[in-house]
A and B are shown apart, each in its own frame.
Chain A
């Protein structure tokens, strides 16, 4: 059944690749833009990352960004702290069918991946291409690409901001300080029309004249790797499809940055998820949940020790079932306490129950208590508002699962969405 590399019918290949590009750029010809599937998107979300800055062989996060079309594209990579403050953005140029891989440890040591369009790389030394791939000039990228390695001041800023320390650039904080010198946050990648220093939180990013485009061509994956423990697990990056006309006035992924106008055109995520967990048997180190949440707020740097008013994010609800379907409603379940009526100020929530926008938390620990060793958990991730009328500031989130066997292996995969981001289930409130 073996085979050999033989003659190449290029015409057939050309046709396949041309069709591939067409399929990749077509938006929802037969499927809804609201489907949370693995087709290429205009935005990629790495829902959580961590890099141990103290140990070179400690946990790190890798991801790849690929271009499914023959057309060259520009992508804008944005790093956000775990509380949702953008810290750094940089452009990545992708020739047609390109793939770029990133180890975030490299970025946090100042080393940048080098790409450049034809205008900055006329001899194709930096971003070479194959015969089926477009390679064009983005004049706006001159001065941006190839991306230089990070100067010490920027590196200090990044390392401080993502470990919850005071950033010398901001003279303020942007994330949680967990005291472990692990850089945490999340990352987005958008297709854009030109190189710029903008992030989705800036004016001029979306809408008419904005830099963001609706090219549904990006795909990729991410890995969490812990070499010291021989752990590696991963999944596909979340692919958010764009449709410039589908979301006018409706919830979108970047809705908080466009005042709910839908101008970003990105599909939203759902609020309610199901995830299995194991805290015993072969998976001796239990189950971690990777949870990305939308605070519904435009978050800016804050005085250290004085996090944003919405922090910690409350959790609308979670229910854990064991394998005999016995439900466990956590004793800290807050509905009865913080929804007694429209006029009451909710009390402080339980500590550290998925309090940030990007979280990793072990099931069964104090902050996410379950009395069972095996079962599944229901999560409603909407971010309740801290201010009257105590509604929900946002209705989107994402959940992943990592199951670990001590020092042997780990397995990661996405949770199961229980509704659509376009038509989310509503939470139930006691009357």
Chain B
């Protein structure tokens, strides 16, 4: 009887279309077709230093292929690899392993007939993706020259493979960037920034809202660990028309054919710089530059960078407000260069990069980009997370509060 119950339950899980309840334009934690790890960092100098871990889970009994794409902090894709998930599978990835050349090794039935790489349980589908032959399992180790280029690209140094730089060089040998994970119908070498063949009728992406997962920032030396759910970006086929904001809108010329809901443009976050949280507060921010970014000459910045801000207001606990940093003359607001110049970054509230006049309170960030004439662009989406730290003791991370959605963004005002 118990076996029968189990079978029925598994059948129920299989039948329940994960993501069928997804709410369009809502930043909820429902399983999704795309996962975003908004920022990662790996200390390449210290094996016991900071690293970032994340998991990818399959909420359905159906096997799926995902395309994991690693981007620099300025939005240049540097590496992608397929990850096969049997039904209800979970894969954990420590990015330190990736930057040491070891990728997660999975394989569908065609490449793993003995189920040694991707074993499965009795309720999980395990099928063959013939397109993965030759691509899965990924090599046990990345070639040394490619690995050197990968490490260079994510630390802002010249990458031989890319023929230039691709990220910021902050002089600390921390590999930085962000990651996307998309459901796809075949193993592919393409990434979302390809001009064609990734999205749309002949594209490789699918709209299977089945992925969930989480991520941790771990700093063993400081006894810090904090984390949150990966950002789940649900797909809604046919819901977005040309001109609508979508998550990958910059790569589909605003056509909406990626079907992915966009993020928010305005965020609110608490901060504490003192008290129990003696290590202060970091903001983790992912931003959409609105551009297809390619490698650039080292020592320069790609077009459109550094990114600017529309507005920011900081409150203390008595609701005194400051709008702190328009570099203007006679209060003529112009493009703001400041704390969040990249697509992916982490900055400490109260540091020289992000001065605030208070030790405690909350702030509002409008991540839209000033329009032409004052900057570059217009509507841009983003994501904000908060990490509060007690020096050497603990840290707590959680997502900030979205105030709008890019489906219906708060308007921006730029009148002086």
Contact = CB atoms under 8 A, between A and B. Distances in A.
A417 B364 contact: no
B412 to A, nearest CB: 8
B407 A232 contact: no
Contacts of A38: 27, 399-402
A409 B395 CA distance: 8
Given A8-B322, A9-B328, A68-B403, A34 B23 contact: yes
A129 B119 CA distance: 60
B326 to A, nearest CB: 5
B353 A1 contact: yes
Contacts of A68: 268, 401, 403
Contacts of B320: 130-131
B90 to A, nearest CB: 6
Interface in A83-136: 95-101, 128-133
B300 to A, nearest CB: 15
Contacts of B349: none
B102 interface: no
A428 B268 contact: no
B30 A411 contact: no
10 contacts: A9-B328, A12-B414, A17-B364, A19-B411, A68-B403, A97-B321, A230-B393, A409-B226, A417-B30, A428-B12
B405 A428 contact: no
Contacts of A138: none
Contacts of B341: 1
Contacts of B24: 30-32
A121 B353 CA distance: 38
B355 A128 contact: no
A128 B396 contact: no
B172 interface: no
B144 interface: no
B158 to A, nearest CB: 21
B121 interface: yes
A414 B395 contact: no
Given A19-B411, A37-B402, A276-B55, A317 B325 contact: no
B4 to A, nearest CB: 6
Contacts of B401: 38-40, 68, 219, 236
A274 B319 contact: no
Contacts of A327: 6, 10, 88, 121-123
Given A232-B396, A323-B90, A324-B119, A329 B5 contact: yes
Contact of A13 (B123, B227, B313, B395): B313
A143 interface: no
Interface of B: 1-2, 4-6, 8-13, 16, 18, 21, 23-31, 55, 57, 59, 86-92, 119-124, 212, 214, 216, 218, 220, 223-229, 266, 268, 270, 276, 306, 311, 313, 315-328, 330-333, 337-339, 341, 352-355, 357, 361-362, 364, 366, 390, 393-405, 407-408, 410-411, 413-416
Given A3-B325, A233-B394, A324-B119, 13 more contacts: A3-B352, A7-B330, A9-B331, A13-B323, A38-B400, A132-B319, A132-B321, A233-B396, A324-B121, A405-B225, A408-B225, A418-B18, A428-B8
A376 interface: yes
A332 to B, nearest CB: 10
Given A325-B121, A411-B226, A6 B319 contact: no
A2 B352 contact: yes
A304 interface: no
Given A97-B321, A274-B59, A324-B120, A411 B225 contact: yes
Nearest to A376: B90
Contacts of B397: 411
Contact of A430 (B8, B362, B395): B8
A24 interface: yes
A8 to B, nearest CB: 5
A1 B328 CA distance: 16
A410 B313 CA distance: 32
Contact of B90 (A128, A231, A375, A419): A375
- How many interface residues does chain A have, given as a range? 35 or more
A129 B408 CA distance: 30
Contacts of A66: 268, 270, 362
Interface in A1-39: 1-13, 15-17, 19-20, 22-24, 29-32, 34-39
A78 B222 CA distance: 37
A340 B119 CA distance: 35
Given A16-B366, A236-B398, A430-B4, A30 B407 contact: yes
Given A68-B403, A130-B319, A236-B399, A335 B57 contact: no
Contact of A420 (B21, B268, B395): B21
B25 A30 contact: yes
| 8 closest residue pairs by CB, A with B | A35-B26, A325-B121, A130-B319, A35-B23, A336-B1, A409-B225, A232-B394, A420-B21
Nearest to A421: B21
A331 interface: yes
Contacts of B13: 378
A220 B245 CA distance: 28
Given A234-B396, A325-B87, A409 B224 contact: yes
B319 A321 contact: no
Given A2-B352, A12-B415, A276-B55, A413 B214 contact: yes
Nearest to A282: B218
A2 B336 CA distance: 11
Contact of B328 (A7, A236, A324, A414): A7
